[in-house]
Amino acid sequence: MCGITGIYSFNEDIELSKSNLTQSLNELTKRGPDSNGYAFFHNLALGHCRLSIIDTSSNASQPFFDETRDYVIVYNGECFNYKELQQQYLSHYDFTSSSDTEVILQLYKKIGVDIFNVMNGFWSLAIYDIRNNKLIISRDRYGEKPLYYYNSNDFFAFASELKSLLKYPIPKEIDYSSLYTYFQLTYIPAPNSILKNVFKLNPGHFIEIKDDDVKINRYYQIDKTKQNKSDYDTAKNEVRNILEKAVEQRLIADVPIGTFLSGGIDSSIVTALASKHIKNLNTFSIGFSNNKYFDETSFAEIIAKKYNTNHTVITVNDEEIYENIFNVLDYIDEPFADSSAIPLYILSKNVSKHIKVALSGDGADELFAGYNKHRAEYIIRNKSSKYHIIKLLAPLFNKFKGNRNTKSGDFLRKISKFNNILSTNNVERYLKLCSFTDASYVNCFVLLDSNYKLESNERMIKYAKDIKDKELGLNDFLLADMKLVLPNDMLYKVDMMSMANSLEVRSPFMDYNLIDYVNRLPSSYKINSSTQKLILKDSCKDLLPRDILKRSKHGFEIPLLNMFAKNFKSVIEDNLLEKEFIINQGIFDYGSISKLKESIFNGQSNGDLQSFVWSIIVFQYWWKKYFEL
């Protein structure tokens, strides 16, 4: 995995200096610490930082030119079927490297942008046709690799990360509609970013630039019209077959490889399948010595023992978590407040000392209906017995909000949230289930013009466009998650936290053959009145012990509220939420912020308070980094 950057000038007066590109590349060095390079043309500059995974020699260094030097590519990602493509389309070509980069460039020359439909992997890339002065920029189908861009009358610039993009002469103005959305979701969905006129390329799209013409085209979308009518047993066997191949393909590397092993179903399946191909596979899990509710290492050790892996448990305490929080805050360049990024950063930091590539189980929950919200939605749509029981006991549950810090508190939090969505329609309910903080609560704190809130609301409705008003199945819900939650929260988090530590993470569940197949299956194959991830569990039940198969979903979280009240107190009180700063900043109502601080320091932990507080801390830290003079 790597980092890419570039600038295309529409105005020959603009200076494409080496300094600009060098500064942009410097911001990407953790993504690609092994080498970097750049190339200049009459109206274009391209840069690349390399993390060497396949063909680690200098033969595969980038920017990579073809033999005629008429085409050049900068590429961040992996194409797992590149050998198959090479044999199918380019068997007579004499390659100078053994990298997937050269295959992609030569195949583009042969079939053009149709290449994106046959590549199996993840990527953000740019290919420049020098003779025709045409630049193609592409992002993978599901958004595993990020790509930011800025388009003006004078130039078009792009980069793997926002911090890199901002080294070009781009104005910094906050998009307050994005900010309002952020405080609800804890992230900012594509195509928008935290800055006006700076965008993220949507997954499954490519940009074509020729002279001063910029076009954005879609090359892929999940097909929601075709239904797979295979019987259950046939589908179950096909899921297993596709997953087996997806794991095997993602073990291709010229560097040490291993797996993240949380002890959950998804990472356990990946580990079990990978162990068929790698003896004494390296596996890694993270545990929390100060809070056993968040510690899952005992389940990970069951799998490690079963498959005789070379297992490493990374145990951290509250002090170590606190120390690494600032590393996370320093690396992210756009407000992003999914707190599970912190343990993922710590895990990646330690894993990168041993290997350069790790397989993960990301994507399985969205694909097979694994989240608690999927269970809640199923109960409501199908009006099961649990629905009627909770509705009957609603007045009692209204008295409790719970918290995320204990098993009983988390149960009460979930029941309270479930009760609050009982009377909503499908679209409203989807957005509430995706949100950590309700808009009405956010309104108590932020001083934003109503037009920004209206624009944010319109965007939110678009995120739920796949949700159907009258639907008993859950495929529409899962499709919406694939488009909203997966690329903008889960995959973004994995990319940023792993790349901050120069570690490549691959998920077999993101294989497009698997996703296309499973998305067309009836939702009854994925969830029923008693079981979630039904067909995944049945297809792989021979691989997993009963204790793993039957265990409930557990989030990858950490208890932050105690740190807010102790370790973080001075940072909150004297810096990020200091009275004069808040008033001069003009974004928050200080009266509400003052009451919030009182709640934090008094140890209150109701509902999703932790998530909202963390989202404010993340934003304030980011604001000071990029806007405070």
Q: Which residues are catalytic?
A: 2
CA 622 to chain centre: 19
Total Cβ atoms within 10 A of residue 126: 26
Residue ranges of alpha helices (H) inside 393-491 are: 394-397, 407-420, 426-434, 439-442, 450-463, 475-483, 485
Provide the token pair at 138: 């592409």
Quote the CA–CA distance of 534 and 238 in Å, as a whole number.
Answer: 14
Which helix or strand (DSSP H or E) is residue 306 part of?
A: helix 297-306
Phi and psi based region of residue 26 (left: phi greater than 0; alpha: psi -120 to 50; beta: remaining): alpha
Under DSSP, is residue 467 helix (H, G, I), strand (E, B) or coil?
coil
349 backbone dihedrals φ, ψ, rounded to 5°:
-60, -45
Which helix or strand (DSSP H or E) is residue 609 part of?
A: helix 609-626
Nearest CA among 572, 560, 555 for reference residue 624 = 572
Non-local CB neighbours of 163 within 8 Å, separated by 6+ positions = 27, 333
Q: Indicate the pairing of strand 121-129 with strand 282-288.
A: unpaired
Quote the CA–CA distance of 257 and 283 in Å, as a whole number.
Answer: 9
Find out whether 75 and 4 touch, Cβ atoms under 8 Å: yes
Which residue type is seen at 541? K
Bridge partners (DSSP) of residue 155 are 9
Provide the token pair at 366: 């969205």
CA 451 to chain centre: 29
Q: Indicate the pairing of strand 148-151 with strand 198-200.
A: antiparallel
Quote the CA–CA distance of 350 and 327 in Å, as a whole number.
Answer: 14
Quote the CA–CA distance of 455 and 469 in Å, as a whole number.
Answer: 23
Quick one: CA dihedral 160, 166, 170, 173, positive or negative? positive
* Helix axis angle, 426-434 to 407-420, nearest 10°: 150
Under DSSP, is residue 18 helix (H, G, I), strand (E, B) or coil?
helix
Length of the chain: 629
Under DSSP, is residue 217 helix (H, G, I), strand (E, B) or coil?
strand
Quote the CA–CA distance of 79 and 70 in Å, as a whole number.
Answer: 23
Quote the CA–CA distance of 241 and 138 in Å, as a whole number.
Answer: 29
Provide the token pair at 6: 């570039």
Adjacency order of strands within the sheet including 35-40: 35-40, 44-50, 2-9, 155-159, 148-151, 198-200
Provide the token pair at 28: 């990407």
Non-local CB neighbours of 274 within 8 Å, separated by 6+ positions = 247, 251, 259, 281, 359
